Structure 1
Amino acid sequence: MTDAEGTTADSTTQAARLNIDGVGLAYDDEGSGDGAALVFIHGWTANRHRWDHQMDHFKVGRRVIRLDLRGHGESDKPVQRYTIDGLAEDVRRLMDDRGVDRFIPVGHSMGGMIAQKLALAYPDRVERIVLVDSLGRMVYNRGRGLVMTVSKRLPYNLFVAANIMRAFKPGYPREQIRGYVAASQATPRHVVLSCFDAMRAFDVLDRASEIQAPVLLVHGYYDVQLPPREALRLAARCRDAVVKILDTGHEAPVEDPAAVTAAIEDFLARG
């Protein structure tokens, strides 16, 4: 069940905070286990509660960490230029602070871009990588380029709404979509636009073969934001990749959280 902000209604646990050069990051660190920690990284205009189902499931036998990226959720929202590299370094510093050496980044959309940066920058620390509705290079066909150009010229709230409403599979409950739209619109304008530009510039596709860790790509069949063919193109460049296509749109973690959890569980069980 979701509330008006698109988070689970029973998500009342007070987040811990880490100060990084004066910027406070909210995070949760739960569970325990001998294996590498799972680190859940949300996407553009979202927050750590995108991963409520996965946290509840995996904390039973593993250490699981999730955070609100700077500019999002309960974390501080400084006026600055936001970059994928910078957000990845925030995650790395959180791992250092929590004493986590080996970890498995699980990233949705923009979070998947961050996960790839971590895998490339810290191959000795990233054991596996899970990308949910993400890609290796932001690509715009003529139609998508037109949508992006037009939507960015809309008033701020309409710009956010236009992007979030397209993220869900046709037929997904409109009341719930409105909750996610409202939560995204609560993200400050300077954060939204700067992260949007950071995603537009993202491109590590030609370096995908450098990712040493096994990769799971979970993607919604009805994802029109980042089409499934882009996930397949990334998978073809990786050394060891598994692709799982779900009956969802771009917001797989909330459209079918159980399917996302099951895909991750199966991937972790691989030898």
Structure 2
Amino acid sequence: MAFTDLGDVRLFHTDDGSGDTTLLLVHGLGSDSHEWVHHIPSLARQYRVIAVDVRGHGYSSAPESGNTPTQMADDLALLCAALGVESCVAIGHSMGGQIVSHLAVEYPSLIKALVTVDPGYGFAGARARNLPAIIERMREDTLAVCLRNDEWTYSAATPEWLREWHRRRIIATPPHVLLQAFEAMFDGPDALGLRPNTEEYLSRRTCPVLTFWFDPVQAAWEASLFKDPHSKAVAWEGSGHRLHEERPGEFLAVVTNWLRRLS
């Protein structure tokens, strides 16, 4: 079945391939599981691959409330149970990096390893100081601010089609979902997007972590939080925020080689 009902939400997901290891693919804010179309065919030749539209996104339903990374993580834990997944490697981009990190901390028996892709946590300095003003502007015109905010995610190397693809995904996401999720990521005393909240919380991840960043400073910072010796931080300078979509072949090679060494 492509849809699973979890009470207040109905999640769309695909389930491809087979193998001893299950991969759970989690997209970012204002996106959906189509984000992984370049990766699923290759990964499904070696693994069972579950790609999901989190609540409020893509083909999944959009409740009026509860559209936060923590609730999305709880949804995915329920989905895994419904699909008979007892353990998996969770791969999350941007907001998905928050979601899979919540899974690793709150459901440690479910998550045997993590891959985070330019994750939406650890913001500091000017970027963190600008977030309250961005949230205030989002309350006035959510869609316009989200589209404007998306412009920073690209580099000169980002293909035009990828910019347009994500512009259309943002437009297709209900504004209340965009606002609730962004607020939960970056506003409040427990917002995982902000240091030092990030450092305290991520220090509770005990599984192996492979993280990708376009900013080497951020990569080095996250590497300082690793607990498992198999963890690794990768920095791809010059890439955009969606580096796994800009460089899918290289991304797949790094991820599958790392997973092979783990096993």
Same fold (TM over 0.5): yes
Against the structure 1 CA distance between its residues 157 and 125, is the aligned structure 2 distance closer, same or farther, given a 3 Å change threshold? closer
**Contact 1:157–1:185 under 8 Å retained in 2:** yes
Q: Deviations over 1:106-161 (max 9, x none)?
A: 00011011111111112222111111101543x24235533762575263332121
1:99 match: 84
2-side partners of 1:83 and 1:231: how far apart? 25
1:233 aligns with 2:236: no
- The equivalent position to 2:117 in structure 1, one of 132, 136, 144, is 132
1:80 aligns with 2:65: yes
Classify the secondary structure of the residue corresponding to 1:26: strand
**Contact 2:219–2:235 under 8 Å retained in 1:** no
2-side partners of 1:95 and 1:150: how far apart? 34
Classify the secondary structure of the residue corresponding to 1:205: helix
1:119 aligns with 2:107: no
Classify the secondary structure of the residue corresponding to 1:104: strand
1:20 aligns with 2:6: yes
Against the structure 1 CA distance between its residues 175 and 213, is the aligned structure 2 distance closer, same or farther, given a 3 Å change threshold? closer
1:146 match: 130
2-side partners of 1:245 and 1:81: how far apart? 33
2:199 match: 205
Number of residue pairs matched by the alignment? 249
2-side partners of 1:212 and 1:151: how far apart? 32
Q: Taking every aligned residue pair, what percent have the same amino acid on both sides?
A: 29
CA displacement at 1:260 relative to structure 2: 1.6
Bigger drift between 154-163 and 84-93 goes to: 154-163
**Contact 2:142–2:178 under 8 Å retained in 1:** no
Letter of the structure 2 residue corresponding to residue 244 of structure 1: V
Q: Deviations over 1:48-86 (max 9, x none)?
A: 011112211110121010100000000001111322211
1:248 aligns with 2:239: yes
Against the structure 1 CA distance between its residues 143 and 87, is the aligned structure 2 distance closer, same or farther, given a 3 Å change threshold? closer
- The equivalent position to 2:170 in structure 1, one of 181, 184, 189, is 184
CA displacement at 1:249 relative to structure 2: 1.1
1:30 aligns with 2:16: yes
Classify the secondary structure of the residue corresponding to 2:233: strand
1-side partners of 2:91 and 2:170: how far apart? 21
CA displacement at 1:219 relative to structure 2: 1.6
CA displacement at 1:198 relative to structure 2: 1.2
**Contact 1:209–1:239 under 8 Å retained in 2:** yes
Q: Deviations over 1:207-232 (max 9, x none)?
A: 333322111011224xxxxxx42342
2-side partners of 1:92 and 1:143: how far apart? 31
2-side partners of 1:151 and 1:174: how far apart? 27
**Contact 2:88–2:110 under 8 Å retained in 1:** yes
1:267 match: 258
1-side partners of 2:134 and 2:164: how far apart? 21
CA displacement at 1:193 relative to structure 2: 0.4
**Contact 2:31–2:169 under 8 Å retained in 1:** yes
> Normalising to structure 1: TM-score of the pair?
0.85
Against the structure 1 CA distance between its residues 205 and 260, is the aligned structure 2 distance closer, same or farther, given a 3 Å change threshold? same
Letter of the structure 2 residue corresponding to residue 153 of structure 1: R
- The equivalent position to 1:193 in structure 2, one of 179, 189, 193, is 179
- The equivalent position to 1:219 in structure 2, one of 213, 220, 223, is 213
Classify the secondary structure of the residue corresponding to 1:128: strand
> Normalising to structure 2: TM-score of the pair?
0.87
2-side partners of 1:143 and 1:50: how far apart? 25
CA displacement at 1:180 relative to structure 2: 1.2
- The equivalent position to 2:155 in structure 1, one of 169, 175, 188, is 169
CA displacement at 1:97 relative to structure 2: 0.4
CA displacement at 1:171 relative to structure 2: 4.0
1:43 aligns with 2:45: no
